[in-house]
Amino acid sequence: MGMKKVSLILPICNVSQYLRECLDSVVGQTLQELEIICVDDGSTDNSLEIIREYAARDERIVVITGPNGGYGKAMNKGLDRAAGAYIGIVEPDDYVVPEMFEELYTVASENDLDFVKADFYRFTRDAEGNEHLQYELLDATRTRYGQLLCPAEDPSCIRFTMNTWTGIYRREFIEKHGIRHNETPGASFQDNGFFFQTFIHARRAMIVNKPYYRNRRDNPNSSVKSKAKVYCMNVEYDHIRDLLMQDREVWERFQYMYWWIKYRNYWFTYNRIDDSYKPEYLERMRQEFKRAMQLGQLCKDDFTALEWQTIEDMAYGADHYVSRLKGNRLLGMVMPVVPAPLKNKMKKALVKTIKVKRRIEKIVRRLI
């Protein structure tokens, strides 16, 4: 078939329930010059049989097998094998629309891009099989679509919605900078490090406001739903910090955005994990952000007022929060003029908030 325009990497492990829909969407792409690399990471269901069934019908499919080594190792095997001009990633419980890679390749090649990424949909299906879609913007400001971007010099690009699978990356760019995934066995969220590496090195990038990718949110085995993987996010962000600090100039340019996105992902983890782990996790989070504040690695302007207050509360302990709460007279000024129905809702929300804050105060008091 000649030169492969795009190599697609599918890291596969025990996803037989969703795999056929994913593979159908990939082999049905309007772009024919594809290399489809299926990396089976030690599946114990019939995922490998499904892959081989499709490979027997489509010569573009390459099958790589091996013992379970984790997401990062599987992805790196695919990256090592890829031969296309650009590389794309498709998670095997997701699917893509037919024109995705033809249109992204056209944008990337015409603009000589290191990468191009697009908006996407998250989706779930109900018991009747009806699909429910939620549109996700890469750029919440809606101001940067279709522009030539230089993420390596513009840390604010890190604010784009984090993912690695809604776009394609120039293979020469990936190889030039040695961009790979962290291979910590049993870990999750190893796409975060890949995301950071592509942004700190890319000098020609673009985002487009068309949703090609469909990201499943109802797979109970997804890592984002695991309550037991407590410190995987922390391990990944230690890895990202080490990558950034390999070049002092890069670290100084991106450190504020590093801590901004780390804050959000740590709270995502806190809300995901089992309650029994939360006091310990909160303490580790408190120590890390206190240290970052002491070193001047946080920029107040990057956070909302509420986020910054939360960081200060964590860094300085419960007494700081209590004194600030006592000094807040806004509620007493507003409540008398609020209509009764809304006032009742506000009171219920306030009671719930106070209970949560008191629980945090007790935890923090035991730690300081």
- Both tokens of 97, joined, read 């629309």
Q: What is the DSSP letter of 167?
A: E
pLDDT 10s digit of each residue in the chain, 368 long? 578 999 999 999 999 999 999 999 999 999 999 999 999 999 999 999 999 999 999 999 999 999 999 999 999 999 999 999 999 999 999 999 999 999 999 999 999 999 999 999 999 999 898 999 999 999 999 999 999 999 999 999 999 999 999 999 999 999 999 999 999 776 678 999 999 999 999 999 999 999 999 999 886 765 544 565 889 999 999 999 999 999 999 999 999 999 999 999 999 999 999 999 999 999 999 999 999 999 999 999 999 999 999 999 888 865 554 455 444 544 444 444 445 555 455 555 555 555 555 565 555 555 54
Side chain identity, residue 266: Y
pLDDT of residue 184: 79
- The pTM score is 0.84
Q: What is the DSSP letter of 118?
A: E
Please give, one letter per residue, the 3-state secondary structure of 13-34. Answer: CCCHHHHHHHHHHHHCCCCCCE
Please name the CATH architecture into which domain 6-225 falls.
Answer: Alpha-Beta Complex (3.90)
Alpha-carbon span 117 to 213, nearest angstrom: 10
Q: What integer pLDDT is reported at residue 354 of this predicted model?
A: 54
User: What pLDDT is recorded for position 30?
Assistant: 98
Which residue ranges does the chain devote to CATH 3.90.550.10?
6-225
The conformational region for residue 95 under phi > 0 = left, psi -120 to 50 = alpha, else beta, is: beta
